[in-house]
Structure 1
Amino acid sequence: MLFNTYVFQVGLIAILLGRFRTLLMLSALYLTLSIILHSWLMNLRWLNTNRFVWTDGLQVLFVIQRTASVLYYYFYKRTAEYLGDPRLYEDSPWLREAFARVRQ
């Protein structure tokens, strides 16, 4: 959706990256934590298929990943709401002012 905005098409990518920096960083963190958690879990279950395996380290990682997921989904919804702002899809005084600041 970021690529469809007028701000992106004009070339003010830095403005979009500044506004959505938290979501982008949190998305990368959440993806990394999810991959690590599921890889570790599958590795433990692959080695011991006859019993349930759950270590203390796995539980800590699970809690951290689930906490990051709450933050991720909050910022994801907030970003989706912000992308509905019509100022991002048309020329406006706010955009001209931002463009003037970037050029200086």
Structure 2
Amino acid sequence: MLQTSNYSLVLSLQFLLLSYDLFVNSFSELLQKTPVIQLVLFIIQDIAVLFNIIIIFLMFFNTFVFQAGLVNLLFHKFKGTIILTAVYFALSISLHVWVMNLRWKNSNSFIWTDGLQMLFVFQRLAAVLYCYFYKRTAVRLGDPHFYQDSLWLRKEFMQVRR
């Protein structure tokens, strides 16, 4: 079971990683003249999203619901967050690769293609949704009914068996 002190530490780490993601999304375009720094920020951002994915799955594995074998129940409750996180991660990596390919050799000129602009908009929209749903999931996983046997869980288990 996730202890209160551990949960607050994990939640703080998740929010720190989300804050870094927000920071890079907000200010990375200001560093287009220095592609090396921008590349390092992008790599750290992608690693932060990957760490958030790992942390959320570790939180899933730690629940009583998962340990009772109701993995489908967890997946059903948090399907939107899981899918959105994967889409956001893919969009972020795609955007970072495209930006670095266009700007690495010629960082003094402003290069902004139509496709890059479209990917940029979709990635930023996905970032807003990712932050909202990820934060909501992280807070919802702090609910004690995920970590102990309860009437709610028994009802869900009986529905799965039918």
TM-score bin, normalised by smaller chain: over 0.9
**Quick one: which of 121, 134, 144 aligns to 1:86?**
144
CA distance in 1, matches of 2:108, 2:70: 56
**1:56 positional shift:** 1.9
Please point out which of 67, 74, 77 is paired with 1:16: 74
Larger C-alpha radius of gyration, 1 or 2? 1
| Equivalent residue in structure 1 for 2:83, among 2, 21, 25 | 25
Q: State the 1:80 CA deviation.
A: 1.0
For 1:76 and 1:24, the matched residues in 2 are separated by 9
Identify the residue that residue 64 of structure 1 maps to in structure 2.
Answer: 122
Partner of 2:156: 98
> Structure 1: which 5+ residue stretches go unaligned?
none
- With the length of structure 1 as denominator, give the TM-score of the two structures: 0.95
Cα deviation digits, residues 3-40 of structure 1 (max 9, x gap): 11000001100000000100011011001100110100
**1-structure distance, mates of 2:132, 2:87:** 14
Match of 2:64 in 1: 6
Aligned: 1:77 with 2:135: yes
Could you tell me how far apart the structure 1 residues matched to 2:73 and 2:79 are?
10
CA drift of 1:74 comes to: 0.2
Structure 1 position 49, deviation (Å): 3.7
Runs of 4+ residues over 3 Å off in structure 1: none
* TM alignment of 1:46-65, pairs within 5 A: 46-65=104-123
Q: Corresponding residue for 2:38?
A: none
Give the Cα–Cα distance (whole angstroms) in 2 for the partners of residues 46 and 18 of structure 1. 42
Instruction: Note the residue ranges of structure 2 that are not aligned, 5 or more in a row.
Output: 1-58
Cα drift, residue 52 of structure 1: 2.5
**Aligned counterparts of 2:157 and 2:79: Cα–Cα separation in 1:** 19
**78, 95, 101: which one pairs with 1:37?**
95
